[in-house]
Every structure is written in structure tokens, then in C-alpha cells.
Amino acid sequence: MTVHTLGKNITFVRPTYFIISGFIGIPNIKYYYVFLFFVYIVSVVGNTAVMAVICLDYNLRTPKYIAVFNLAFADLCSSSALVPKVLDIFLFNHRYIPYNDCLTFLFFCYTCLSMQALNLVVLSYDRLIAIIFPLHYQVKVTHRFMLSLIAFFWVLTIIAVLITVGLITRLSFCKSVVINSYFCDHGQIYRLACNNYTPNLVMAILLPLLILWLPLVFIICTYLCIGYALSKVATIQERVKALKTCTAHLSLVVIYFILLLITFILMEKMHPNARIINLSLTSVFPPMLNPIIYVLQTQEIKESVKKLFKFRVLSRITVKQSL
């Protein structure tokens, strides 16, 4: 334990390290971490491929695909911030994490994971304007606007998470230093404090509201507006055509928020092991599935992949013929 004194009457007791408990009493649980490793590999390959395709194909350098690129980038960062460290903790039995390292781990995990929901907000806004105001789309959704919106969300998230982490440094840990989770979980950490943690409790309520529930409400309202606009469209074919442009985004929204809703609604009733499984799958599955969904359900990316693959094959043939 280290004691930090601020002023005359304020003293904080900080532990040298935290201990990550992980699963309790489950035999052969290492196989689950191996499964997370393979999910991570698929996520890295998929998101890197999506970013590469967008960079290589000039036709995909549109405001919409700036948002898709940012989604893939945030997914890659969130997986890389979380999974390798989790594997190091449990597969190599490094459960003792220094205090500062734990807060850094928390910051990067929360920042990158928080951006997933905000990226879905950006993409839902893009679909809203494209369907309701198709003639004004190129004026309203420009490269500058999209980059500014994404930058704003990154700054907002970083500031919110920095405040959350900063408030932890105002806590004293006099008793247990065991975190009942699979990573440096904010909710589990501040509950270990032996002094007043009301500010941390407030942030634990405000942060999900800001980066989860407000985005969900915005996305629902967006699709209600889209649905109302499409109900005014004369032909069924035009409605179906417009809805097809939303299928990839809707799939991402359903996958991301269904898992989160299950976690938050059943959190108090769940066994700690079940909660850890649910939280870990919620964290790693969307980054793995997002690139797969976009490749399978987005016509532009499918055509771009075919074109790049065809160009690659032709270039190899040309090289062989020249030799």
C-alpha cells in the first residue's frame, strides 16, 4: 500500500497492485481464453481487411465509408486493448496488475469500447439523411462534416473516460484489492473503496447513459423517422431498395445492443461467472462480426473486394508472362 497526502487533512491509500479474480471454480477454463484468442485473430484480420479495402479503393472514399473505417479502427483498438491483456492475465497467470497499469488498462478498454456505440450513431445519421433527404445528402454529409463529427465523439469519449479514471485516484483501498471481473472493471474497482465513492457512482450512471443509452435512443428515433418516410414512398420496390441500404447497420445495432441489454438487465441476478462470460462476449463479438457483416451485406465493399482480388490475379499473370 502507498499513502498519498493532499493538503493537511486529505489522505488516499492506494494499493501497490490489484488482483483480477476471473472465473471461479470452472475446470478447463483456459479453453475459453483460447476461444477468445481465435475470436481476436478473426477480428484483427477482418477489421484490417475492411480498412485496407477502403484505403485502396478510391470509390469508397466517401463520408459513409469514413465512418465505416472509423468503426473498423475502433473495433481493432478495442479488441487489441482488451484481449491480449486478458490472455496474459489468465493464460500466463499474471493476475497481479500494478495500480497505474490497471487504470491505464481501464482507460483504453473503456475509450475504445465506448466508441462502438457512437460509431453506430454516426452511421445511423448517415442513413437518415441518405433516405429522407437524398437530394441534399452530398451537401449535408460532407467529408469535413463526417470527420468533425467523428473527432468530436473521440474527444467526448476520451474526456468522459479520463474523468472516470481520474475519480478512481481519489479513492482509498484499505481492505480487498481483488477485482471480481476479467479486466480492470470500473464498477468493481470503485466498490472496493473504503472512503466515499459517490462521485464514482454518479459517473458509473452517467457514462453508460452518455455512451450507450442516448445513442440507442437516437438510433431508434432515426429508424422511426426512416420508417415513417418510407411509408410515404409509393412503391414497395423503392421501400425495399432503401431498406437494403440499412441492413448492414441494423445488423450491427442488433448484435451490439442485444448483448448489452441482456448484460445490464440481468446483471444483478447473474452468477459472477455468467456475468464475466456475458461481458467478455459483449466486448469481443461485435468487433469480430462487424467486418463480416459489412463484407457480406454491403454491395460496394463486395464489389471492391472482387475488383481488388481480380486486379491482384491479373497482376500476377502479367508478372509471370513477363518472366
Domain for residue 12, yes or no?
A: no
Kindly report the CATH number assigned to the domain that includes residue 199: 1.20.1070.10
What's the structural domain count of the chain? 1
C-beta of residue 233 within 8 angstroms of C-beta of residue 242: yes
Please check whether residue 55 lies inside any domain of the structure. yes
Which tens digit of pLDDT belongs to each residue from 104-122? Answer: 999 999 999 899 899 999 9
Answer whether 79's CB lies under 8 Å from 287's CB.
Answer: yes
Give the rounded percent of residues in the chain with a pLDDT score beyond 70.
91
Model confidence, pTM: 0.89
Is 273 a member of any domain?
yes
Domain contains 316: no
Length of the chain: 323
Domain extent for 262: 17-306
Question: What is the per-residue pLDDT across 47-88, written as a single tens digit (0 to 9) for each?
Answer: 999 999 889 888 888 999 999 999 999 999 999 999 999 999
Give the chain's mean pLDDT: 87
Check if the beta carbon of residue 27 is closer than 8 Å to that of residue 279: no
How far apart, in whole angstroms, are the C-alpha atoms of residue 21 and residue 179?
6
Residue 267, in any domain of the structure: yes
Residue 101 lies in a domain: yes
Reduced 3-state DSSP string for the chain: CEEEEECCCEEEEECCEEEECCCCCCCCCHHHHHHHHHHHHHHHHHHHHHHHHHHHCHHHCCHHHHHHHHHHHHHHHHHHHHHHHHHHHHHCCCCEEEHHHHHHHHHHHHHHHHHHHHHHHHHHHHHHHHHHCHHHHHHHCCHHHHHHHHHHHHHHHHHHHHHHHHHHCCCCCCCCCEECCCCCCHHHHHCCCCCCCHHHHHHHHHHHHHHHHHHHHHHHHHHHHHHHHHHCCCCHHHHHHHHHCCHHHHHHHHHHHHHHHHHHHHHHHCCHHHHHHHHHHHHHHHHHHHHHHHHHHCHHHHHHHHHHHHHHHHHHHHHHHHC
Domain contains 281: yes
Q: Where is mean pLDDT largest: 102-106, 267-271, 299-303?
A: 102-106
More confident site: 121 or 227: 121
**pLDDT value at residue 59:** 84
Residue type, 267: M
317 domain residue, yes or no: no
